[in-house]
C-alpha cells in the first residue's frame, strides 16, 4: 500500500507465477492513476536479480516516490542494504601452507581448467542463442514478413505500420519468453493474421478452485486450458485489444455475457501503450483466480447454443463502458454465485429488486444489459 503526497492510498498487488524468479511477478493496481500504472508497468521489463520480489518492491517504491514528489522512506535504503548483504561472500578460512611442487601442479590444473572454459564459452553462447526461439516460431515470423511484403507490393496492406511492427515485436518477445517456453500459455494466429490471436491459458494458481476445474475438464473433455480470443485494432498499441473467453463457459472471474472480461486494464481509460501482450495474458490469468472463476460443466457445448459469441461479448462490454463513461460510475462485477455487485454512483438513483432464477438485468432508459447470474434482477430508473 502506497500513500501519495495528497494522502490518497493506492493498493498494489503482485501475483508470483510458476516461472519466478526467471520471470518477474505480475503486478496490478485497482487504480486509474497513470502514475501508478506506469510505475507498475516498469516492473514487467526487469531481468536477473531485479526479478526478485524484494528488489521489485524497491524499484516500485522509488518510482512512485519520484512520480508523486515524495521523499523516499529510510527503510528503502536499509532494504537495499539487506539485499546486498546477503550476497556478500563470507571470509574464507586460512589455508594451510603448500610446497612449491603443489603450487606448480595447481597452476597447471587451473590453466587447463581456464583453457577448457575458454573453449566452451563460444559454443555455449552459440547454443543459447540458437535455443532462444524454436524453429517453428522462426518460420511463423518469416511467413508473416513474407505476407506483409507481398501485401505491400499488391497495395492491400491491412492494419497500420505502427500496429504491425508492434505486434511483430510482441510475438517475437513471446516466443522468447520463459513463461511461453514452460507452457504456461500458448499462442495461435487466426488465419495467419497478426491482428487476431487465440491464446490458451494452461496454468493458473494450483491452489485455486479453477485449477481443480481444469483438471476435471481434462478428464471429461481431454482439454485442460482456457481459450481466449484477442482482437487488435490498427490503433494498437494506443488502444487495448478486445479479449474474450471462448471456452469453456465460466462463471465468476469478472467474465461477462458472451465471454467479455470486465477489467479496467482492457478499457481505454485503464490502458497504457507500455503494456505488453504477455503482461495482459498473465494479468487475465491472475484476475480469473482473484474473481473465483469456476467452469460451468453443465453449459451447452455447441457454440450456437452456448452463451459465448464475439457479437454478444462486444455488445455487453460496450454497453458497460458506455454506462461508465456517461454516468460517472465505477463498476466492479465479480459475477460469482453470490452476485457481489459494487456501485459507486455520482448521482442519486432509485432501485427495486425482484427475484429470478436466470439473469441479472440492469436497465437504464432503453439500454439493457443481461448478465447471467443466480437470483437477482435490478431495474434502475434515472
Residues carrying an active site annotation: 262
Distance from C-alpha of 177 to C-alpha of 23, rounded to nearest angstrom: 9
Identify the sign of the CA torsion 163, 167, 168, 173.
positive
The CA–CA distances, whole Å, from 89 to 49, 80, 93 equal 16, 17, 12
* Per-residue buried b or exposed e for 237-259, using 16+ beta carbons within 10 Å of the residue's own CB: beebbbbbbbbbbbbbbbbbbbb
Amino acid at each position: 500500500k502506497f500513500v501519495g503526497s495528497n494522502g490518497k492510498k493506492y493498493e498494489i498487488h503482485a501475483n508470483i507465477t510458476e516461472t519466478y524468479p526467471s520471470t518477474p511477478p505480475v503486478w496490478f493496481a485497482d487504480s486509474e492513476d497513470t502514475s501508478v500504472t506506469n510505475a507498475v508497468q516498469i516492473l514487467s521489463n526487469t531481468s536477473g536479480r531485479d526479478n526478485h520480489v524484494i528488489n521489485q518492491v524497491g524499484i516500485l517504491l522509488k518510482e512512485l516516490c519520484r512520480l508523486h514528489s515524495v521523499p523516499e522512506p529510510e527503510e528503502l535504503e536499509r532494504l537495499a542494504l539487506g539485499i546486498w548483504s546477503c550476497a556478500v561472500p563470507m571470509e574464507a578460512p586460512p589455508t594451510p601452507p603448500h610446497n612449491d611442487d603443489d603450487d606448480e601442479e595447481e597452476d597447471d590444473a587451473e590453466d587447463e581448467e581456464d583453457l577448457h572454459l575458454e573453449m566452451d564459452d563460444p559454443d555455449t553462447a552459440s547454443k543459447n542463442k540458437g535455443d532462444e526461439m524454436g524453429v517453428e516460431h522462426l518460420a511463423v515470423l518469416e511467413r508473416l514478413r513474407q505476407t506483409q511484403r507481398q501485401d505491400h507490393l499488391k497495395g492491400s496492406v491491412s492494419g497500420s505500420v505502427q500496429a504491425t511492427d508492434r505486434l511483430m515485436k510482441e510475438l517475437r518477445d513471446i516466443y522468447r519468453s520463459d513463461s511461453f517456453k514452460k507452457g504456461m500459455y500458448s499462442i495461435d494466429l487466426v488465419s495467419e493474421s497478426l491482428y487476431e490471436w487465440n491464446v490458451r491459458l494452461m496454468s493458473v494458481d494450483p491452489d485455486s478452485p479453477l485449477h481443480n476445474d481444469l483438471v476435471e475438464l481434462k478428464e471429461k473433455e481431454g482439454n485442460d486450458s482456457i481459450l481466449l480470443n484477442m482482437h487488435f485494432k490498427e490503433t494498437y498499441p494506443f488502444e487495448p485489444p478486445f479479449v474474450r473467453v471462448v471456452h469453456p463457459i465460466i462463471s465468476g472471474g469478472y467474465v461477462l455475457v458472451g465471454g467479455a472480461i470486465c477489467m479496467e486494464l482492457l478499457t481505454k481509460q485503464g490502458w497504457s501503450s507500455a503494456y505488453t501482450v504477455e503482461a495482459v495474458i498473465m494479468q487475465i490469468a491472475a484476475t480469473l483466480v482473484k474473481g473465483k472463476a469456476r467452469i460451468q460443466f453443465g453449459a451447452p457445448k455447441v457454440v450456437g447454443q452456448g452463451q459465448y459469441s464475439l457479437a454478444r461479448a462486444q455488445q455487453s462490454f460496450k454497453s458497460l463502458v458506455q454506462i461508465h463513461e456517461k454516468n460517472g460510475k465505477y463498476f466492479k462485477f465479480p459475477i460469482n454465485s453470490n452476485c457481489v455487485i459494487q456501485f459507486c454512483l455520482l448521482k442519486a438513483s432509485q432501485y427495486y429488486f425482484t427475484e429470478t432464477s436466470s439473469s441479472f438485468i440492469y436497465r437504464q432508459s432503453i439500454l439493457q444489459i443481461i448478465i447471467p447470474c443466480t437470483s437477482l434482477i435490478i431495474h434502475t430508473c434515472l
